[in-house]
Structure 1
């Protein structure tokens, strides 16, 4: 009998130790749990790097990027910035902060890494090279939280990181960081976490947890990024997917580059019956990359009585939630001297011309209010405020 009791007690002890170990090693669970957050300086490779560094050290000095004001005591908030906000990123005119072709060679020489990179990035392994060539090399101007990925035992790992301001990254056409050049790691938007963070690594001078930003990808395609020239604090327009060779100076932009990027306003409190919003999901990896199309609308010529209304040409179906990129151009033909405009009948819908934004007579960009979030439209380097929606991360 005593031996039976001893066996039962030993089994209970093993179960309790196993449960404790699972609780410690299983990561954070629940809103109040602590989660590891890797602090990664500019040039540090970090845990399990995918490749050697492809960052251009001459193009990535630490920019003097001021941080937003700290929140009131006792208030915890995540500073969300639109991926199209002017000044979110920096760079050196006509100089790429990363060597994309070297990154392609590193991954192309290792089939396992190429497959793991594609899996973490949410793309097909055969499209890694074209994916990388479609990204834009820039540097971060603020300490930025991301979901980072390492390579271990033939597959990708995942962990939360804060990348120091000045880190060279490749961003996509929604303004989101996708690759960290110091290690070749694929990046994604950070996980939502309502609890405290357990910082891993030595903080750098100027690091403050309440000043870390999170980039919210835009829902529309960005054709140009407005970045700060970190060598002289002027403005540059850089085309997405370009290495800087087509950079254009923008002296017409009247925004103080010393000011931090405008953060998006907080979302209203959620009702008790609903869960609080976490973050706006990035475009699905299954979405095709939108190609900007041009839709031409004309004032129709007089139609013969009884003729059918014009039918728009069919287009490829786009999955729900995927971004689109369309430019509308209105062309009005000269009226025919022998034709008269018939009155639209009850069965013939009148064509409606979509309105197009007016451009400044002088061609200069108007100054932006400093208290509004900014976003780039799907066009040639204009800056307009995005939709007022924002969500907490």
Structure 2
């Protein structure tokens, strides 16, 4: 009777050992995906992920382009002391200039390679589509519409891994310098080091604690959460860390169309975005121009610009009509009987017979009746002597003594 008992115990021991081996392999599989330290992640735990680490349960191999992924820069600002009740991450819209960085004209991730990795494994592609919220057939188009950039602050996100043929979910903090793909609202959607889909983090609590090794400069009070921009954007203003300059990168572009923004942000590229940022100046608007009075033509004066004959001229307008300041008429007809300045403008000369600018010495027409000016001839003129006697008066009146 003792033999069957011993055999039963041996079978149970073998089965127990098999279970332990299976459990150990499962953990090792997870550890191999997480580079041997992180294992698998639970949905409710916070995982600290360094920029270069692949992390647990990767969807694909890394697609990071080292030339386009700027390294994490050490913080130069002093640690921020959070106010009571303000210990959580700071929320910034995805359109914030300087929220992301990169290298000008170089992509941080290889989007084409990411598409090929997923297409080679239908199960992973299907799980990726479910976690990203798109159709499986639309995965390539979804990825091509994203923009490769680099995080410039430690960022809270919702992460997804691939395990046992389906997607897993967990919360994580990604280190500044992590290469990601963002959408047209500025939200991180894919982590390029592992191909894992990203989403907005669950909850808004502080990023204290968590599993993983903190990196130098990590401060839970200075992490950020990216909120979707108010509306879809066409360009992202990022920081070129190599030249400490601003770069405007079109959404969905991998750096080929990078350019310098026409209007730079109101702060320097190296500004710590986890601290207070100055507001952007208001957009300039064109002020409507005041309507200008049309200038009257010199050939045909307007009826409303010249005084009507017979009306008294208001004080000050007579000078304006003759001197011709800006906007004043300069060709109004001269009323009959008033002195003329010689510009007739089609009107008859008021005083015919007055001296003209004809050259002197012109022979006079003997048939022309004498006018006000004696005719000009070439013969010497004889002085006319008028006899007068002393005592005669010539238009001079002597004062009469009273």
Query: TM-score by structure 2 length?
Result: 0.56
1:144-293 alignment to 2 at 5 Å? 144-194=155-205, 197-250=208-261, 252-253=263-264, 254-261=266-273
* In structure 2, C-alpha distance between the alignment counterparts of 1:137 and 1:65, rounded to whole Å: 22
Provide the residue aligned with 2:112 in structure 1.
101
Q: Please, which moves more after superposition, 98-107 or 205-214? A: 205-214
Following superposition, the deviation at residue 185 of structure 1 comes to: 0.3
* In structure 2, C-alpha distance between the alignment counterparts of 1:51 and 1:57, rounded to whole Å: 17
* In structure 1, C-alpha distance between the alignment counterparts of 2:112 and 2:166, rounded to whole Å: 23
Pick closer, same or farther for the CA change 1:39–1:141 going to 2, 3 Å. same
User: How big is each residue's C-alpha offset from its partner over 1:17-61, in whole Å with a ceiling of 9 and x where there is no partner?
Assistant: xxxxxxxxxx79xxxxxx521111111110100000000122223
| Bigger relative CO (Cα 8 Å, ≥ 6 apart) | 1
Q: Please, which moves more after superposition, 162-171 or 69-78? A: 69-78
Pick closer, same or farther for the CA change 1:36–1:130 going to 2, 3 Å. same
2:136 is the alignment partner of 1:125 = yes
Query: TM-score by structure 1 length?
Result: 0.57
User: How big is each residue's C-alpha offset from its partner over 1:178-225, in whole Å with a ceiling of 9 and x where there is no partner?
Assistant: 000000000000001447744111011111111110000113111000
User: How big is each residue's C-alpha offset from its partner over 1:313-370, in whole Å with a ceiling of 9 and x where there is no partner?
Assistant: xxxxxxxxxxxxxxxxxxxxxxxxxxxxxxxxxxxxxxxxxxxxxxxxxxxxxxxxx4
Following superposition, the deviation at residue 116 of structure 1 comes to: 0.2
Rg larger in 1 or in 2? 2
- Conserved 8 A contact 2:222-2:274: no
Unmatched 5+ stretches in structure 1: 1-26, 29-34, 265-369, 376-381, 384-393
Size of the aligned set, in residue pairs, is 241
* In structure 2, C-alpha distance between the alignment counterparts of 1:372 and 1:263, rounded to whole Å: 13
- Conserved 8 A contact 1:82-1:263: no
The 3-state SS of whatever aligns with 2:210 is strand
More strand per residue: 1
Pick closer, same or farther for the CA change 1:39–1:163 going to 2, 3 Å. same
Following superposition, the deviation at residue 112 of structure 1 comes to: 0.3
Provide the residue aligned with 1:64 in structure 2.
73
Provide the residue aligned with 1:85 in structure 2.
96
Following superposition, the deviation at residue 62 of structure 1 comes to: 2.0
User: How big is each residue's C-alpha offset from its partner over 1:235-261, in whole Å with a ceiling of 9 and x where there is no partner?
Assistant: 000000000000002375152112123
Pick closer, same or farther for the CA change 1:70–1:58 going to 2, 3 Å. farther
The 3-state SS of whatever aligns with 2:148 is strand
* In structure 2, C-alpha distance between the alignment counterparts of 1:244 and 1:74, rounded to whole Å: 40
- Conserved 8 A contact 1:140-1:169: yes
2:384 is the alignment partner of 1:372 = no
RMSD: 2.7
Unmatched 5+ stretches in structure 2: 1-41, 285-402
